[in-house]
Structure 1
Amino acid sequence: MDQLGAITMFVATAHHGSFTRAAAYLGKTTSALTRAVTHLEAELGTRLFERSTRRIALTEAGHIYLASARQVLTQLQQAREDIDQLQQEMCGTLRVVAPPSFAPAFLNAACCRFLEQYPMMRLEVDLTDELVDLVEGSYDLAVRDGPVELPDLIARPLTANRILICASPRYLQRNPLEVLPHTLDQHDWLIFRHPALNPHYWWFTHEGERQRISQPVPRLVSDNYDCLFAALLSGMGLQLCPQWSAVPYLRRGELVQLLPDIELDPDQFGAKIHVIYPEHRRHTRKHQAFIECLSNYLDEQALH
C-alpha cells in the first residue's frame, strides 16, 4: 500500500473523528480508509484508534503518531511549494496568526504591501490573543509578544515592546493636575486586562532603580485594546501603550507621552515583538518575503 497515501488517510480520519466523514472529505471510500489505517497499525504493531459502533478515538500511540504524521505531510507540502516557486513567480497561501491590536498598528499595512508585491500569493490572517500552537493550527508563522522559547520554533525579533504612559491633549486640558508618580491615582485610567499582566501592580525603572506602584482604580477596563485606545484618543484618561501603537499619534500630536524618564515593565509580554515560525521553514521563500516586508514597514515607520 502507498505509505504516504495511508498516512494522509490516517491524519484525515483523526481530524474528522470518523472514517465516513474523512472518506467524504478525501473523495475515497470508507473501506479504503479503514484498510489504510489497518495497514499502518500492522506495520507499527499497535492500534492507532479505539473503535466502537458509535465512535473512534485515538489511542496514546495514535496521538504520538499523529503529531509526526502531520509534520511529515506539512514538510512535503512545503517542499512542493518551494520547488514550484523555483520555477515560477512566488505563489501559494501564507497563514498568519497575531494579536488583534497588531492589525491597525502595523499588520494591516504590511499585509497589503505584501499582497501588492506578490500578486500570486494569498494571505489568511487570524487575529487572537490566545497563544495558539502553530503546527496544530496549521499556521505558517505567528507575530507575537510574550513567550517565544518554544520547541522546534524560530523566534526572530522584529521591534521593541517599550511601554509608554500616554494621554490626549483633550484629557490634559480637562484634568490639568500634573502627571507625576505620586499623582497617578488622582487621574482617570484606561487599563488593559490580560492574563500575562499583573492586575495589581506596575513595575517601573527610574534612574536605575526598579520600583513597584499599585494600579489605580480604572475609569475603564477592557480585555480589548482597540476599545481602550479609542477611549484614549477621545480624552477619557491615561493609558499604558506599547510604543508601536502610539508612535503615529504622538507624531501628529493626537497623543502626548508622559513621564518619559520612567521605563515601564512590559510584564510577560516581553521586551520585543517576534515573528515565530517552525524551524523546518527557515529557508522558505514565502516566509522570508513576508518577514522582510513586515520588518521593512516597521523600520520605515520607526515603530521601534
Structure 2
Amino acid sequence: MDKLSALTMFVATADHGSFSRAAEHLGKTPSALTKAVAHLEGELGARLFERSTRRMALTEAGHIYLEGARQALQNLHEAADEIDQLQSELRGSLRLSAPPSFGPAFLNEASIGFLRAHPQIRLQVDLNEAFVDLVEGGYDLALRDGPIDLPGLIARPLTENRILLCASPDYLQRNPLPVLPETFAQHDWLIYRHPALNRNYWWLRLGEQRLRIEQPAPRLTSDSYDFLLAHLLAGQGLQFCPQWSAAPYLASGQLVQLLGEYRLEPDALGPWVHALYLSHRRSTHKVRAFIEHLTAFLGARGLS
C-alpha cells in the first residue's frame, strides 16, 4: 500500500475520530481507511487505535505516531511547494512579524520592492512589539532585535543594531552647550521606554573605558519610537537612535550624530537585528527570497 496515502488516511481518522467520518472527508470508503490503518499497525507491530463498538481512541503509540505522521506530511507538502516554486514564479502567502519602528525605517520600502518583484506573492506584515510565537501565530518569519536563542528557530543577522546619539541642527543651534556625558543633565532628552531597557542608567564605552551614566530627567518619554523620532526631527531634544533608523536623516542633514567616539551598549535588545524563522522551514523559497531581498536592500544603504 502507498505509504503516503496510508499516512493521510491515518491522520484523517485521528482528526475525525472515526473511519466513516474520515472516509467521507477524503472521499474514500471506510474499508479503505480500515485497511490503511491495519497496514500501518502491522508494519509497526503496535496498535494505533483502541476500538470498541461505541468509540475509538488513539493509543500511546498512536499519539506518538500521529505527531510524526503530521510532520512527515507537512514536510512533503512544503518540499513539493518548494520544487514547484523553483520552477515557476514565487506565489502564495508570506506572513511576517516585526516591531513598528522597522516599518518607516526600512521595511516599508523593502516590502514595496519585494511585491513589485514578485506579483504573485500575498504579503501579510504585522507590526507590533510583542515577541510572537511563530508557530502559534502562523508566521513564516519575524524580524527582531531581541533574544534569538530560542528553540526551533534559525536566526540570520540582517544589520548591526548600533546605537547613535542624535540631535537636529535646530536643537543644537538653540542649545549651544556642548553635549558631553557630564552635561547630559543640562539638555532636553527624548527617551524610549521598553520593558527590556534599563530606566535608570546607560552604559557608554570609550575605548576600553566603560562608563555608567545616570539617565537625566527626560523632557519626553514614550513607548512609541516613531513618536519620539518625530519630536527629534522637530528639534525637541537629544535621542539615542539605532543606526538603521537614523541613517537617512543623517545623510540628508536632518540629524547630526554626537559623541561618535562613544559606543552605547545595546542592552537587552542585542547588537544585531535578525530574521528569525522556523528550523523546519530553512529551505522555504519564499522565506529565503524575502530575507535575501531585505539583505540586499539594507546593503545598498550601507546597513548590512
TM-score (norm. length: structure 1): 0.79
How big is the shift at 1:84? 2.3
Give the distance between the partners of 1:9 and 1:237, measured in 2 at CA: 64
Structure 1 segments unaligned to the other structure (5+ residues): 14-18, 33-38, 46-62
Q: Would the aligned equivalents of 1:81 and 1:92 in 2 still touch at CA under 8 Å?
A: no
Secondary structure class of the residue paired with 2:179 = coil
Cα pair 2:86 2:285 within 8 Å, conserved: no
Provide the rounded CA distance (Å) in 1 between the counterparts of 2:77 and 2:220. 47
The 2-side partners of 1:81 and 1:4 are apart by 17
Name the counterpart of 1:289. Answer: 289
In structure 2, C-alpha distance between the alignment counterparts of 1:9 and 1:236, rounded to whole Å: 64
What CA distance in whole angstroms lies between the structure 2 residues aligned with 1:83 and 1:204? 50
Change beyond 3 A, Cα 1:104–1:5: farther
Q: CA deviation at 1:152?
A: 1.6
- Give the match's secondary structure for 2:197: coil
- Corresponding residue to 2:48 among 43, 51, 74: 43
* CA-CA distance at 1:211 after TM superposition: 1.3
Equivalent residue letter for 1:141: L
Residue 299 (structure 2) aligns with:
299
Shift of 1:2: 6.6
Residues 1:180 and 2:180 aligned together = yes
Q: In the TM superposition, what is the alpha-carbon distance from 1:43 to its structure 2 partner?
A: 3.0
SS across alignment from 2:143: strand
CA contact (8 A) 1:164 1:242 kept: yes
Contact 1:202–1:264 (CA<8 Å) still a contact in 2?
Answer: yes
Give the Cα–Cα distance (whole angstroms) in 2 for the partners of residues 151 and 44 of structure 1. 31
Aligned to 1:253: 253
Aligned CA distance change for structure 1 residues 251 and 184 (closer, same or farther; 3 Å): same
Cα deviation 1:59-116 (Å, max 9, x = unaligned)? xxxx999987875665454234213213422211111111110011111111111111
Distance verdict in 2 for CA 1:153–1:64, change over 3 Å: farther
Using structure 2 for the length normalisation, give the TM-score. 0.79
> Is 1:209 the counterpart of 2:209 in the alignment?
yes
Q: How far, CA to CA, are the matches of 1:10 and 1:216 in structure 2?
A: 61
Verify the 8 A CA contact 1:160 1:273 in the aligned structure 2.
yes
The Cα offsets for residues 1-20 of structure 1, whole Å up to 9 and x where unpaired, read as 97546747977x9xxxxx9x
* 1:165 Cα deviation after fit: 0.4
Determine the C-alpha separation between the residues in 2 that align with 1:247 and 1:163: 11
CA distance in structure 2 between the partners assigned to 1:96 and 1:250 by the alignment:
28
SS at match of 1:136: helix
Please state how far the C-alpha of 1:294 moved relative to its aligned partner.
0.1
Deviation, 1:261, is: 0.5
Matched-pair identity in %: 56
Give distance in 1, aligned partners of 2:138 and 2:242: 29
Letter in 2 for 1:259: L
Partner deviation per Cα, 1:252-274 (whole Å, 9 max, x = no partner): 10000011111001101111111
Amino acid corresponding to residue 288 of structure 1 in structure 2: R
CA RMSD between the two structures: 3.2
Q: Please, which runs of 5 or more residues in structure 2 have no aligned partner?
A: 31-36, 38-46, 51-62
TM-superposed CA distance for 1:208, in Å, is: 1.2
Query: Residues 215, 221 of structure 1: CA spacing in aligned structure 2 closer, same or farther, 3 A cutoff?
Result: same
| 1:303 CA displacement | 2.4
**Kindly tell me: are residues 254 and 68 of structure 1, through their superposed partners in 2, closer, same or farther at Cα, counting changes over 3 Å?**
farther
Amino acid aligned to 1:233: L
Partner of 2:274: 274
Equivalent pair of 2:101/2:225 in contact (CA under 8 Å) = yes
Contact 2:7–2:69 (Cα < 8 Å) also in 1? no
Structure 1 SS opposite 2:136: coil
